[in-house]
Amino acid sequence: MNIKNPFKKEVSPDELKTKLAVSEQRLTTREKELKSKQKKAREEAKEALASGNDREYRVASRRYSLVEGQVNTISSMVEMAQSMKDVIEMQMGLKEVVSIGEDLGHWQKQLGFDTDKLESAVTNIRMSMDKVNTASTMMTTTMDAAMGGSEELNDMQDSLRSELLAELSSETSEQDELAKKINSEIEKNE
């Protein structure tokens, strides 16, 4: 028995996009039909429930659930078709980018660039930056832990501010009293 597989032949990206668009349209149409049936089943379940007819409610609610499952499946298939179209478009763009990348690599070799050394240098720079960032993060975390967290640090700062303001106001009043005494002594001597 020789059964032909319709997916065995390689298809061009444009042909595949067309086939996916047709499939997506068919699925979307079916999805709309099912949503209409689902809405009808929901209304029937609502009416049966309102009239107290348990049997009709069970039948209508079961139908609603079955249709909902189909709607969800078809919705997923529509999303998959859309994603596949996106992938095809990206693939078409990537082919051009790969071709340009190959040209750039060829030109680099003609200019005498050693791409392996260049990539190694970039990797070393990235690793060094990662180490610096890690050390910085660790230091910040350690400092935060040592200071007891930002909330406690703010409380400490507020407390210190209050103490210092109290000291400054008392020093100012002492200086004012001293200045008054000096002025009064000066006035007496004159």
**Radius of gyration (C-alpha) of the chain in whole angstroms:** 39
Q: How confident is the model over 97-123, as a mean pLDDT?
A: 78
Q: How confident is the model over 6-23, as a mean pLDDT?
A: 80
Which parts of the chain fold into alpha helices (H)? 13-51, 54-111, 115-147, 149-189
pLDDT of 155: 67
Q: How confident is the model at residue 117 (pLDDT cuts 50, 70, 90)?
A: confident
Q: Report pLDDT digits (tens) over 159-190.
A: 766 776 777 677 777 777 777 777 777 777 76
Using alpha carbons, list the distances in angstroms from residue 108 to 91, 97, 118, 156, 173.
25, 16, 11, 59, 78
* Residues recorded for the chain: 190
Range in 32-46, 82-96, 132-146 with the lowest mean pLDDT: 132-146
pTM: 0.46
What's the rounded Cα separation, in Å, for the pair 87 and 81? 10
Q: How confident is the model over 132-144, as a mean pLDDT?
A: 69
- Tokens at 143, concatenated: 């400092």
35 alpha-carbon distance from chain centroid: 31
Q: Report pLDDT digits (tens) over 35-86.
A: 999 999 999 999 988 888 889 998 998 999 889 889 999 999 999 888 888 8
152 alpha-carbon distance from chain centroid: 32
